[in-house]
Amino acid sequence: MNYGMIAYILGRVLLILAALMLLPLLAALVCGESALPYALTALLTALVGGGLWLVRPKTREIYAREGFTCVGLSWLAMSLLGSLPFVISGDIPRFIDAFFETVSGFTTTGASILNDIESLSRAGLFWRSFTHWIGGMGVLVFLMAVMPMSGERSMHIMRAEVPGPTVGKLVPRARQTARILYLIYTGFTVAETILLMCGGMSFYEALLHAFATAGTGGFSTRNASIAAFDSAYIEGVIGVFLVLFGMNFNLFYLILIGRVREALRSEELHRYFEIILASIALIVLGTFRRYGFAGSLRHGFFITMTTLSTAGFCTQDYMLWPAYLQTMIVLLMFIGGCAGSTGGGLKLSRVMLFIRTAAADVGRVVNPRRVNRVEMDGKRVTAETTGAVYAYVALVMLILLGCTMLVSFDGYDFSTNFTAALSCISNVGPGLGKIGPSGNFSIFSSFSKLVMAVTMLFGRLEIYAMLILFIPSTWKRR
C-alpha cells in the first residue's frame, strides 16, 4: 500500500474542498449572514489538507487498491468536514443529523432529516444544494480535471468514482476525459439555471435547483419541494434535464464530435427511453381520473424522471396512487439511471447485462451444447464483466437486506424500513410509508441515521471503494 500517495491525494482533495467552501462563504456575505461557519471550516479543511499534501510519496504509482482507498477515504473526510458548517451555524445543531444531511448531499441521495427546510440560512441552503453538484460528477474526477495526476494509473481513481459496470476514457489521457465530463456537466447546469430563471425563479433558487438536478440529488429550497412553485414549465425544464443527467455522459461527447449515429445506436439509451415512456403511460392510466389527461401526463413525466434518475424531487404524494404504481416506483428506484450518468441505482446497463447473463445461463441448462453469447451494442461481453455484474447485484442485495434489518430496530413498518434502505443504497431520497413524499428521515434514531449514511456512501461509490476500507489486507504493505 502506497500510504504516502494516498495521503498526498487526500490532501489535495481537502484543499479543493476548502476552496469550494469559499462559495457558500461568499453567499453568506452577499445575503448579509455570518460567514464565520464557512471560514472556520474552510480554514480547518485547508490546514488538514495542506498537512497531508506536504507528504511526499517515494513513488507516485497508483494501483487499484490505492485508487479505491483514496476514493473511500476522500468521501468520508469530505462528509465529516462538510458537516461542520451546519453544526457551527446552528442550522443543524446535532452532528449526527448534520452528517446524515451532508452525506445525503454529497452522495446525491436527497434524503433529509429537516422538517422545516425554509428555516435554514440562505448560505446553509446554498451549501446543502452545492454538495449535490460537487458529488454528482465526483470531487476526485474534478481533481483530475484541474490538477496533473500520476499518469495512466489515475484511471484507477476514475473507475472507483464513476458509476457503471465499465469505465473507459473518452480520449487517450484520463485528465482530458475528466475535463470533458466537467465541461458538459457545467454547461448543462448553466443552461438549466437560465431556463429556470425564465420560468420565474430567482437566480438564487434557479441555481440551487440546477445544482440539485445536475447531481440528481433532489434537495430543494422549499418545504413542498418543486410542488411549491406549481409550474408546469418549471417541472418540464427540470424533468428534461433529469432525462439528460440520467444519460451516459459519453454519449454527449460523441454527439459533440459529430458521431451522432454511434451515440444513438446505444442499446442502453433505447431501453432508457422505453422505460420512461412505459412508466409515463402506466401513471397516466392509473391517475387519469384524479388529474385528467393533461395533469396525469404532467405528473407522470415528472415523477418518472425524478424516480428513474434518482433525483427525488416531489410534486405529488404518490402514496395516494394505486398500489401497482407504488410498486413500479420501487422498481424504478432499483434500476436508476444509465452507466456514466449522475444517477444512482443499479444502473440500466448493469440490469440489462444481469438479465441477459441470467437468460444465457438458463439457456445452457436447457441445451448444454448451445453457445449463448452475452452481447451489448453488438459486442461480446466478457465473462469477467458478467461475473462482476452478478457479484455487484449480490452485494447490493446483501447490503440492502442488512440495512433494512438494522433500521427495523426502530420499530417502523416493513415498507418504511425497506424503502429507506433502498433509497439509501440507490441514492434516491424519498421512499414509501413514513418516508414518502410527505415525510422524511427525522423519525429514525441516531444509530439508524448512521447506518443509512454509510449505506449511502456504499451506494454512491458502488460498494467497493467503501468495502475495501474494512478489509484488513488492504492496509498491509506490499
pLDDT of residue 442: 94
| Separation CA 246–CA 239 (nearest Å) | 10
| Greatest pairwise CA separation for the chain in angstroms | 74
pLDDT (tens digit, 9 = 90+) per residue, 27-69? 999 999 999 999 999 999 999 999 988 887 777 666 677 778 8
Higher pLDDT, 363 or 170: 363
- Inter-CA distances, 69 with 60, 74, 305, Å: 15, 8, 33
Record the cell numbers describing residue 316, joined without a space. Answer: 405529488
Distance of CA 127 to the CA centre of its chain: 16
Angle (deg, nearest 10), helices 446-460 and 95-106: 20
- Over residues 189-204, the mean pLDDT reads 96
pLDDT (tens digit, 9 = 90+) per residue, 384-400? 888 888 999 999 999 99
Q: What percent of the chain has pLDDT over 70?
A: 90
pLDDT (tens digit, 9 = 90+) per residue, 262-281? 889 999 999 999 999 999 99
Q: Residue 444: which region, alpha, beta or left (left: phi > 0; alpha: psi -120 to 50)?
A: beta
Report the SS3 class of residue 256: helix
Asked whether residue 169 carries a pLDDT value surpassing 50, the answer given is: no
All residues at 6 or more sequence positions from 417 whose CB lies less than 8 Å from its CB, including other chains: 404, 407, 408, 410
The pTM (predicted TM-score) of the whole model is: 0.91
pLDDT of residue 171: 47
* Residue in the structure block whose three cell numbers are 425497506: 418
Asked whether residue 20 carries a pLDDT value surpassing 90, the answer given is: yes
Helix (H) or strand (E) run with residue 375 in it = strand 375-376
What sign does the CA torsion over 301, 303, 307, 309 have? positive
What sign does the CA torsion over 391, 394, 400, 403 have? negative
Among 119-133, 143-157, 244-258, 437-451, which stretch is predicted with the lowest mean pLDDT?
143-157
pLDDT band at residue 170 using 50, 70 and 90 as cut-offs: low
pLDDT (tens digit, 9 = 90+) per residue, 292-335? 999 999 999 999 999 999 998 988 889 999 999 999 999 999 99
Record the cell numbers describing residue 205, joined without a space. Answer: 433558487
> Would you say 463 and 396 are in contact if contact means Cβ atoms under 8 Å apart?
yes
